Structures are given as C-alpha cells and as structure tokens.
Amino acid sequence: MNAPLIDQQCINTIRTLSMDAVQQANSGHPGTAMAMAPVVYSLWQHFLRFDPDDPIWPNRDRFVLSIGHASMLLYSLLHLCGVKAVNPEYETVGDLSVTLADIKKFRQLDSKCPGHPEYRWTSGVETTTGPLGQGVATSVGMAMASRWMGAYFNRPEFHMIDYDVYALCGDGCMMEGVTGEAASLAGHLKLSNLCWIYDDNKITIEGHTELAFSEDVATRFNAYGWNVTRVGDANDLAMLEGALTAFRNTEGRPTLIIVDSHIAYGAPHKQDTSAAHGEPLGEEEIKLAKRHYGWPEDAQFLVPPGVPEHFQNLIGTRGRAARERWMTRFTAYKMKYPELADALYRMQRRELPAGWDQDLPTFPADPKGLAGRDASAKVLNAVAGRVPWLIGGSADLAPSTKTRLIHAGAGDFSPADYGGRNLHFGIREHAMGAILNGLSLSKVRPFGSGFLIFSDYSKPAIRLSAIMEIPVIHVFTHDSIGVGEDGPTHQPVEQLASLRAVPGLLVIRPADANEVVEAWRLIMQLHHEPAALVLSRQALPTLDRTAYASASGLAKGAYVLAEAPGGNPEVLLLATGSEVSLCLAAYERLIVEGIQARVVSMPSWELFEWQSQAYRDQVLPPHVTARISVEQAATTGWDRYIGLAGTSIGMNTFGASAPLKALQKKFGFTPEHLVVAVKELLVPG
C-alpha cells in the first residue's frame, strides 16, 4: 500500500540518513534500519506517548531498540522528532539530543551516536542495547514497573502511571535464550502493556536463518500466553496501525507483532544478503537505493523541508499535550495525596524518604553469630519498611537467600495483585538480571537474589547495569566453599574475581552482621553504581566492636579492624567475609607469640580504591611488605594489595563435596595454617 507523500518522505529520510551515516563511518548495519523505517515511523507518529521536549516525564511510553545494531534507526528518529537533551541532574536542556552533526559522526569518538544505543549518553535512549535479547528482556522489567507503580500511585480519580512499553526485536533476539525466559514470565504475568515488534527478515550475519532457526515463533509465543498478530508487509502503514491498535485493545496478554520485511528494502541488489545486515552498502548501491526512493542520488544527510515539522505536528503536538495533561493532573494529585506525590518525585530523582534508615538494627557481639544471609534478611526488611519502592525477589531461591519481604502488605507481584513487592522470577537468572535493569531504569529500586555460583548466568545483565550506571542491587548468598556438601558445582571459586573485573560494579563481602548493616546503608544511597552484596550461608561470629574497630569502616572499602600493639605492624592480614574472623583467630595467637600483626577487613576493593592515597597508605602502609590475603576464592587480583613479597591463601582449584570443617582443613583455611604461613613469610626458609 502506498503511503501518503509526506509520510513516505519522512520514512525515506530515516532510511537515507541511516545509509549515509553507515557509509560515512564505513561501519554499521544499514539494512534493518532501512527496512524497519515504516514501522518505527508509524509507532512514533501515531501511538507512542512521548514528548520530545521532555523525554523523561514519568508516564511516557518506552521504546526499546532491542536490535541495537540498527541504532541509526533510533538516532534518525531522535533527530527528526527534535528530542531534547537531559543532563544527569534530570533537568531538561534546550539543545537537541541528536544533531545532524552527531549523525555525521556516527560511530566516531565522543559522538552522541555510538555504534549501539547507550543510556545516559544519548537522551531518548531508554536502555543500552546491543547484546541481542537483553533489550526485550529489559522491556519486561519496564512493563512490570508500570504495573507496580500504577498499583501503588494510582487512585480512582488519578491515573498517574499507566505507560506502555514497545520493543523492536529481530531474529537474533528470538534465538537468544534470555528472550524465551523473559517472554515466558511476561506471559505468565499477563503484561498487556507490553508490545514486542518482531522484524522477521530471516537474515543474520551468517546468512539466511534457515541455517540454524526454523521454529514457529507465532506458535511459541501463543504457548507463552501472548497475543500474536502478523503484518505481512513492513511498508503497509494501515496494517501496522491496525496491529498497534489491536495491542492497545488487548487485555490480559502481552502482544507480539510479527512484521515481514526485507533487509535493505528498496535496494534490490542488496536484498536478503548478510552484507546489507552488517556492512555499509557502498556508494553505487546507495545511489541505486536513493533512485528507487525518488531521492537525489548525490545528496548526503538530506533532511527535506517539512519533514521535521511533520514530526513536530504529530508526535510533538500529541506528546506535549499528553505531558501537559499529566502535569496538570500531578498538581491536583499533589494537593490531595501529598505523601504519594512526594514519593513519586523522590523516586524519579533516586532520592530516599526521610528517616529511611532509622530502623536499621545493631547486632550484639556473639561468638556463634549469624549467617550473612540471615543478617541481611533483617536489614532488608527494616529498609523496605521505610522505602516503599524497594521491591525484588529471587530466581526461585528466596527461602535460601532470605530475601522475602515479610512486613505487612508486602504481598506477591502477580496478575491478581500488581502492587505486590515480592517478585518471583522463576529459575531464570539471566532474565532476572535484565528485568532488574528495566525496573531500575523506570526508577523503582529493585533487588534480585541467587546463589553466587549462578551469578555466571546473570553476568551479561549485571555488566549492562554497570555500563548504564544504574543502582541495581544483586544479593548473592552461598558465597564460598562454605556451601559444603553441595560440592564444586555449587561452590563459587572464580565468581568474586569475575564480578570485581566489571568496571563500576561495587562488590561487597561483609565479615559479620554489622558489616551487613553498613553495606545496606551504603548501597541504598547509591545513585549510579550497581552493587553485588555477597553473603555467607553459614553463621559468622558477630564481632565485638568494643574490642575491634567499628563496622562503619566498611564505607571506605577496607579498614584496620585489629591493630598491632603499639601501632607498628610487621605483618598485615587482609581478608573479606568469613575469612576475617579466621584472621582474627590467628591474630590473637600471633600477638601472644609477640608477632606484631594487623588485621584489615576489606569488604569492597572498589570502595577502597575510591579513597585517597593517604587513607590507603594508612591502612596498608607501603613499608610493610609482609602481607597475607585470605579468601575462600580464586586469588586473582590480590597481588595488587599483597605485592610481590606477599602470600595469598585462597582457592587454586575447584572445591569438593564434604562438610565445611573438612573443606577448611583440606584447603588451608584454619588459624593454625595461617599462623604457619605468617611465620614462613617473616622468616623465609
């Protein structure tokens, strides 16, 4: 079906900007952007509730480009719609988010148009995408956030939050396992505010999808509980609008719109080839495509007069009116429900309620102690009682991770009660991580939990939370060979090193219950850093803080827990988590023998690196080169703190299936072994 002239001109502007940018960069993926231009044009112009002048107003619809390699599709839209930039303080800036100059610098250093869309770098980008499948999985978290916020904030006369979420995905997304995990959960939760648009072009990098992919996607999604519809031609605007209208009218099910398209549609010499998917078209092919579109063949980065105005007349006018109605409604809402309005405002700015930490417990000294997970359960519920938008759950392990919210009214998030604060992700760690990202991007404060060993399953999503600088909370329990009889498949060894390798991720492994309190106190105040809180299954002694330093030292990442008499140590014992109490037991023996030892609790390397050089030298005096690190994990990375002269007591193999005490003896995690190691270090040979 032929589109009206102005519509076709707008669509072709998106196409030609995309092919010109990729060609000039000599890098990128033009085909999908060209083929999907009519789809995103129809969505943005006629359905998306989005105000280009205020791209962060809370009740805007979200658009997720899960096929992030088609980033020029989004950058073209952001430019043509006149989307404004927003600074980190959440104040709208008058400049355009994406200028034509930015598009001309596509994929170049410091351009606002990087190879894949990046959240916080380019306003209008709702989430960082690129790794296929994670965009659509993240969109499930956004849809869940809309439902939860609606249940919490809406009142019969005030519908404050009811936004929809749209995600554009492709064959690669459909092949990734995380997509199936997330789609299954979305169907179970009946998220009728979620719409995925599937570009069924049957092309991937290696060629036609028949090489590796032959499933019936429609039947698969029907089985997930989705409403499935099909658009037989990506260029049929009337059919596209009919499918999107059907989504809006569908209750009780998310929607999948399958769109049949051809890569680089309109450039006949490049149709259905992998080159069009992953490479520039080439100057001659671009000329042929532009001729096919009725476009000036030699024009580059052409935006015809009237095209930006047409976007402003449709999405601009409609979005502005929707936002202004919402702001008027919010003013009245604030008058009638001031506490709820204040909460909504604080959420958007990632601020906490006044007095949020006043119920945090203090744990008395106790040699028998408390497991890290049990202490965390008490602290988590104390915080959640004061921060209503702290919600979360686990990948089917809440009874073990102790992350269930138990205070009155917490409830379970379900189609029957979207106001429930306990989320059940099922055994879907990767999807859980991505969904947590979507929740956080929507300004809910989410936590998710699992065993540390299974952080491997959620690592791609954890990595993206760090790239996006969003404060997702990951709670990991069963943190070491302390898992015991479950054996090496469940005993984490390399996971701490793996998590510490993620730039921007705070990894915190507390030594006792009061360090757990301080960890939560710090984590809740983060604005831009995700955190991995690593907790023990087994009981850890609650340290006597009248004899040892205050647990508040956790905030600096490392602190002197037990000092050598006289304050001049000859050996430093460095440890995290359960091994701190082991070091203290060895310390008491060493002091009796006249060996001047200092015990340093190092719950977070990242926090320690944030401190001044003077503080770090105070904790780890450079002249004291006799140092021993103790951690029931791979020793990778400890060399930066113990130096060439130091010794690491850690795991250099996988664990074994046995009771904890037998494992500690086998792998050298005993006070006796540590005392011997200190003496060998101080008197070599």
In this structure, the strands spanning 207-208 and 506-508 are unpaired
CA dist 199 and 67 (Å) reads 9
Q: Which residues of 611-646 are buried (b: 16+ CB within 10 A; e: fewer)?
A: beeeebeebbeeebebbbbbbbbbbbbbeebbeeeb
CA dist 295 and 266 (Å) reads 12
Which amino acid, one-letter code, is at 598?
R
Q: Residue 575 corresponds to which tokens in the numbers above?
A: 């440890």
- Per-residue CA distances from 646 to 493, 573, 590, 635, 638 (Å): 21, 10, 17, 12, 9
- Per-residue CA distances from 515 to 455, 491, 507, 541 (Å): 22, 23, 13, 12
Q: Single out the catalytic residue among 181, 429, 518, 606.
A: 429
Longest dimension (CA), the chain: 90
SS3 678: helix
Residue 173 near residue 140, CB atoms below 8 Å: no
CA dist 66 and 139 (Å) reads 9
DSSP assigned state of 683: S
What are the phi and psi torsion angles at 271 (to 5°)? -65, 140
SS3 616: helix
Q: Which of 163, 152, 177 is nearest to 47 (CA)?
A: 163
Cα four-point dihedral sign 173, 174, 179, 183: positive
Q: Which residues of 159-175 are buried (b: 16+ CB within 10 A; e: fewer)?
A: ebbebbbbbbbbbbbbb
CA dist 45 and 540 (Å) reads 59
Q: Which of 333, 372, 342, 378 is nearest to 360 (CA)?
A: 378
Q: Which of 516, 526, 507 is nearest to 462 (CA)?
A: 507
Q: How many residues does the chain have?
A: 685
* 339 included as an active-site residue: no
SS3 146: helix
CB atoms within 10 A of CB 675: 18
Catalytic residues: 429
